Amino acid sequence: MQYQSRKDVPIAETWDLTDIFKTDAVWEQACKEVEESVGKLKAFDGAITDATSLYNYLFTSEEVGTTFKKVYVYAMLHLDLDTRDSKAQVLLDRAKQIGVKLSAATSFFMPFLLSLDENTLKKYIAEKKELSYFEEDLLESFRYKAHVLSKEKEEVLSELGEALSVPSTTFGMINNADIQFGEVTNEQGEKVQLTRGMYSKLIESPDRNVRKEAYKAYYKPYLESKNTIASTLAAAIKNNVTLSRMRQYPSALQKALFPDKVPQDVYDNLIETTREHLSSMNHYQRLRKETLGLDELRAYDLNAPLVKDVKNEISYDEAFDTMLKSLEPLGEDYISTLKQFKEKRYFDVRETPGKRSGAYNLGLYGVHPFILLNHQDDLDSLFTLVHECGHAMHSHYSSTHQPQITAGYSIFVAEVASTVNEILLIRYLLNVTTDEQMKKHLINHFIDSFKGTLFTQVMFAEFEKTVHAKAENGEPLNADAFNEVYEKIFRDFNGEDLVFDDEVKFGWSRIPHFYRPFYVYKYATGYAAAIQIADKLLAGDAETKSAYLQFLQSGSSDYPLELLKKAGVDLTTPEPIKHALRIFDDLVTEFEVLLKK
């Protein structure tokens, strides 16, 4: 359902942001408290001389950081509800400015900490028992010793924080606020305003003319802005490469992998192992072309339904109930907690003009998770709901079972929590359906989920690796360079059966994740890990259930690869990726058999 105004959306399907601050005035007071604390934190510069002063700084910094995160999130969530809202833009700008001041005030600490002898630090920890709370983080910081600059340089970089984020901010405004897709013709022959939510429905239309028109209209503003967007992406990549060099990392990729302690072999193995299985993806594309009866398979045919006469509509309430049933292998506490999330309005459900596109979960320690959706009352939206609830429950469990310092979790493990839920849902739906057409449709959905979450993300990961390498080698980055890299990789992944429209090579221009470098590969590793875990959960493996719930409660209490090993998945070997890709092979083969019945 498409709403023309937030006022039309039922209140039960909207966020209650008063859970963070009751009013803007209370938010403003919190802003002033943080600003006043900036001076207190700055005063510690040069004044940390013993265990007590070290503890006092760390305690104050965490306390101020907690308040600041609430200040920032309150502003950000308001703006995400309507990116055109000038008042919300002012709130977020104010929060960002405070963040820069806070970052500058605390920038002295890491160089100071790493100037200490490690034995001196351990002596401080032994002297003041309260420092044991910070011990792991303090000792972990010594891993970064070779990558931290002088106090003066760190302060300059902190001051430049807002400027360095401009490429990402600019793309966000272009993508969410400025780009207009114009009108297209829907399946009823009516002219409608194209939105991202509407596009996701029209690109799946059985009517090829509708798909083509929607596809062309969707890409048109990106092609018209190709040079502007290329400049923002190039700037983001160059910023990342420059910072990586300044901090003396071997490469931008190594810098991205360092915090999670992920060997580059894991990243490279993901790409290489997936490339070894591209024959099954090419098999699927040929099957798609044959099933649709096309002389030429084009990009706007890749989401067309291969199974007809299937009921795809599912209301939000029905979707929520279906999700709860599918997640029963995770236990009663998991289910009852999710019910409370809905009752307490942790979800903002509907697409409205100006609202941020897509979906996400944001866990706010000391408050609760906030889940943004753009729900369209269809099967895809059900899967999105299940996915984001996986993140939200991860946030909830980690916040409940971990102290603040380890309650956050790496994106690397985050994608496991969301994808386990998706796998449980698809297996549940396949088990309960008695309709042969629906079974075909669900297997097709499973295949497309595999394609989107594993193959496509690996393709994006290879694109990122290639264009960052170009920047590191001093090669030019512009629209033509991005097109050349993207088109080559896309052709490899999709096979010779796909006939290329000009729009295909501009796929890079619409991907927000490229402004968070080397992020997307974690979707693919998460998917592979989730396949293994979900299969064991569905087999009734009590040990896996216990280990997985423990994993959800672990936050960042260990490195991601170690947390996953405890949950039964070892991503330092190719096996989890190979296992997942074997299942993809089997699904494509099973789908072909069902189609020919």
Both tokens assigned to 315? 């209301």
Per residue in 213-256, pLDDT tens?
999 999 999 999 999 999 999 999 999 999 999 999 999 999 99
Per residue in 375-398, pLDDT tens?
999 888 999 999 999 999 999 999
pLDDT at 151: 78
- Among the listed residues 154, 388, 462, 472, the single catalytic one is 388
pLDDT at 2 over 80: no
pLDDT at 404: 94
Mean pLDDT, to the nearest integer, of 89-114? 93
Per residue in 496-512, pLDDT tens?
889 999 999 999 999 99
Q: Compute the distance between CA of residue 347 and CA of residue 71 in angstroms, rounded to an integer.
A: 19
Active site residue 592: no
Residues 465-473: contacts with CB under 8 Å, at least 24 apart: 465/253, 465/267, 465/271, 465/518, 467/237, 468/237, 468/240, 468/241, 468/251, 468/252, 468/253, 468/517, 468/518, 469/251, 471/234, 471/237, 471/238, 471/241, 471/252, 472/241, 472/251, 472/252
Distance between first and last Cα of the chain: 36
Q: Rounded to two decimals, what is the model's pTM? A: 0.82
Mean pLDDT, to the nearest integer, of 56-75? 97
Question: Torsion over CA of 128, 130, 133 and 134, rounded to 10 degrees?
Answer: -50
pLDDT band of 282, cuts 50, 70, 90: very high
pLDDT band of 142, cuts 50, 70, 90: confident
pLDDT at 161: 81
Q: Compute the distance between CA of residue 510 and CA of residue 524 in angstroms, rounded to an integer.
A: 19
Domain 6-164 has CATH 1.20.140.70: yes
69-83, 163-177, 341-355, 422-436: the lowest-pLDDT one: 163-177
pLDDT band of 3, cuts 50, 70, 90: confident
pLDDT at 132: 95
Max Cα–Cα distance, the chain, nearest Å: 78
Average pLDDT, the chain: 93
Mean pLDDT, to the nearest integer, of 135-139? 92
Q: How far is CA 453 from the centre of its chain?
A: 11
pLDDT at 597 over 80: no
Residue of 74, 82, 148 whose CA lies nearest to 115: 148
Contact predicate 427/538, CB 8 Å: yes
pLDDT at 1 over 70: no
Both tokens assigned to 291? 């099933």
| C-alpha to C-alpha distances, 304 to 52, 191, 381, 592, nearest whole angstrom | 64, 21, 17, 16
DSSP secondary structure code for residue 501 in this structure: P
Q: Are strands 347-350 and 369-375 parallel, antiparallel or unpaired?
A: parallel
pLDDT at 201 over 90: no
